[in-house]
Amino acid sequence: MTNKAYALYQKDFHSEMRTRYAVNSLAMFVIVAISVILFSVGNETITQSLTAGLFWVVIFFSAMSGLSRAFVSEEERGTTLALQLVAAPTTIFSGKLFFNIVLVFCMNIVITILYSALFDSFAIKNFGLFIVAFFFGCAGLAIASTIIAAIISKAGAKGTLYPVLSFPILLPLILTSVQLTLMAFDGSTFSDAKFELAIIICYDVIMLTASYLLFDFVWKD
Amino acid sequence: MVWKISLFLLMVFVSIAGIAFPIVPIPVKWYEFPLIPGLKENAKIIFFHVPTAWLSVVAFFMSTLYSFKYLKNKNLDDDAKSYAAAQLGIIFCILATITGAVWAKFAWGSFWSWDPRQTSIFALLLIYGAWFALRSSIESEEKRASLSSVYSIIAFLTVPFFVFIMPRIMKGLHPGSADDTNSGPVIDFKMNANMQLIFFLSLIGFTVLYFWMWNIGYKSIIYRDKLNKQNRG
């Protein structure tokens, strides 16, 4: 199963490398979003809580612009049936999830680097806490958006529905991640942030389990 | 028939009692409510605000329950039940948001202040909205039923975060928040016996009303689908 999932990931990776559609559009989206924020901020120094919020706003909307590709592209090319024949639903979900996790991590590392270069208030005091929060935040984002992508690829309307469906699901994750990012800015210790970390880990585990259980019903027509 | 009339009488009594019974510093007679410091006269909206908020959650839970049943049995009637529950749920959710905002204006000074529970009811509204948007975008009945069931179950999994975890770790204005000195819901320590009685009567009345409306709602959806199929066939 792991081999097949990895093969599926490689297939997605190669087809992505051929067109570079998702990577290019994501990169441009990140640049556009950050420059809009920079223009609207102007010469003012913004507070740290606002920076933490804006950081996750950019992450959320970038994820929404790129992550639905995983399943929508299969529907567009008409390759869904072939996939259904060659692999079990769990394998397909694993492959797609792995691809999305890689994409989210690359995207968010770029966003973090851009933010720390461009915003003075993006100063992380507790780097360890930020890394842990970032890791679980990105993982949760990838998991939840992958299953929602599977749902909307089967539904008719594709573009606009994706952020609408994802936002309420991602809201607990985003609120907690903003809180954790802010704590990393303040230099809070791990024991200060243990509740928030517990929430974010619970969220990841719950979403992962539920996605695997429910993906069968989405995938089979 | 008898229970319908008694429900009507109960709701009439609750509405009149909730609005008209006086609030006095030291209640003596059976119809007098105690004065709750900080709330005063606007404490009365609790008889309408809490039941609507409770029912918006109950409706959401039932919608998920029947979604779950649909995925198990693939019976379209369950989807109709889930849909009827969600239709009522969004109505009660809007009512709870409005009554809550009105209460907040007079008790806390502004209609909206992103208190954790306000955040969670807002998220619940968004979930309902997204769910209806998803349903309206799919033509095929089976596909619509299974996709919306999956979405409703995933959305339901986020509810514990909003309802139970967020309000308790974040600072808020509602009773039971993290920084509340008298932690615990209001009904435990500030209401007297007759206020509690009216409160629970109101809760029961609204719940029965909800189940009655839901019963009519899902039956009408099932009949409409049957008629549509007959006309087509």
Question: Where is mean pLDDT largest: A186-190, B163-167, B217-221?
Answer: B217-221
Ranking A207-216, B35-44, B111-120 by mean pLDDT, the lowest is: B35-44
For residues A15-43, give the mean pLDDT.
87
- Per-residue burial over B93-105, b if 16 or more Cβ lie within 10 Å, else e, is bebbbebbbebbe
- How far is the C-alpha of B93 from the C-alpha of B103, rounded, in Å? 15
Interface-testing mutation among B136, B149, B158, with chain A (most A C-beta atoms within 10 A):
B158
Residue B70's closest chain A neighbor by CA? A217
Q: Let me know: does A154 contact B147? Beta carbons within 8 Å.
A: yes
What's the whole-number average pLDDT of chain A? 88
pLDDT tens for residues B93-123? 999 999 988 888 887 778 887 787 788 888 8
pLDDT at residue B186 greater than cutoff 60: no
User: Which residues are B33's β-sheet partners?
Assistant: B23
Please give the pLDDT value at position A206. Answer: 93
Beta carbons within 10 angstroms of residue A101's beta carbon? 17
Q: What's residue B182's pLDDT?
A: 42
Residue of B127, B155, B169 lying closest to A195 (CB–CB): B169
**Chain A interface includes B130 (CB < 8 A):** yes
Which pLDDT band holds residue B37 (cuts at 50, 70, 90)? low
Q: Does B35 touch chain A (CB under 8 A)?
A: no
Q: Which residues of B touch A165 (CB under 8 A)?
A: 130, 133-134, 151
Q: Which residue of B has its CA nearest to A211?
A: B154
Please report residues of A whose CB lies closer than 8 A to that of B162: 171-172
If you count residue pairs, one on A and one on B, with CB atoms under 8 Å apart, how many are there? 79
- CB contacts of B157 in chain A (<8 Å) are 206-207, 210
Report the mean per-residue pLDDT for chain B. 82
Does residue B201 register a pLDDT over 90? no
The predicted pLDDT at position B187 comes to 45
Torsion of CA A183, A187, A192, A193, to 10 degrees: 40
pLDDT at residue B195, rounded to an integer? 78
pLDDT at A144: 93
- The pLDDT of B191-203, averaged and rounded, is 80
For residue B223, what pLDDT band results from cuts at 50, 70 and 90?
very high
Residue A124: per-residue pLDDT? 86
Domain boundaries, chain B: 41-232
Beta bridge pairs of residue B24: B34
Interface test with B, best of A93, A151, A192 (most B CBs within 10 A): A151
Span B49-75, pLDDT tens digits: 888 988 988 999 999 999 999 999 988
Digit-coded pLDDT (tens) for B77-89: 999 999 999 999 9
pLDDT at A219: 86
**A214/B158 touch (CB, cutoff 8 Å), yes or no:** no
pLDDT at position B216: 93
pLDDT at A102 over 60: yes
Look at A214 and B150 and tell me if their CB atoms are within 8 Å.
yes
d(CA A22, CA A16): 7
Question: What pLDDT, in 10s, does the model give residues A59-80?
Answer: 999 998 888 888 888 888 888 8
Contacts of A199 in chain B (CB under 8 A): 161, 165, 169
pLDDT tens by residue, A116-127 = 998 888 888 888
* Nearest-neighbour CA in chain A from B75: distance (Å): 14
Across the range B12-40, mean pLDDT stands at 74
pLDDT band at A110 (very low <50, low <70, confident <90, very high): very high
Does A56 or B170 have the greater pLDDT score? A56
pLDDT of residue B176: 55
Chain B residues near residue A196 by CB distance under 8 angstroms: 169
What is the C-alpha to C-alpha distance for residues A128 and B3, in angstroms, rounded to an integer?
Answer: 62
Q: Is the confidence at residue A101, as pLDDT, over 80?
A: yes
With a cut of 80, say whether residue B178 has pLDDT above it.
Answer: no
Q: Per-residue pLDDT for B18 more than 70?
A: yes
Of A165, A199, A211, the CB nearest to B161: A199
Closest CA to A101 of A157, A131, A133, A145: A145
Q: Does A147 touch chain B (CB under 8 A)?
A: yes
pLDDT tens figures, A9-23: 888 888 888 888 778
pLDDT at B172: 62
Residues 6+ apart with CB under 8 A from B95: B48, B52, B56
Using a CB–CB cutoff of 8 Å, tell me whether B71 touches chain A.
yes
Determine, for residues A161 and B133 on separate chains, whether the beta-carbon distance falls below 8 Å.
Answer: yes
- Least confident range from A153-157, A186-190, B110-114, B144-148: namely A153-157
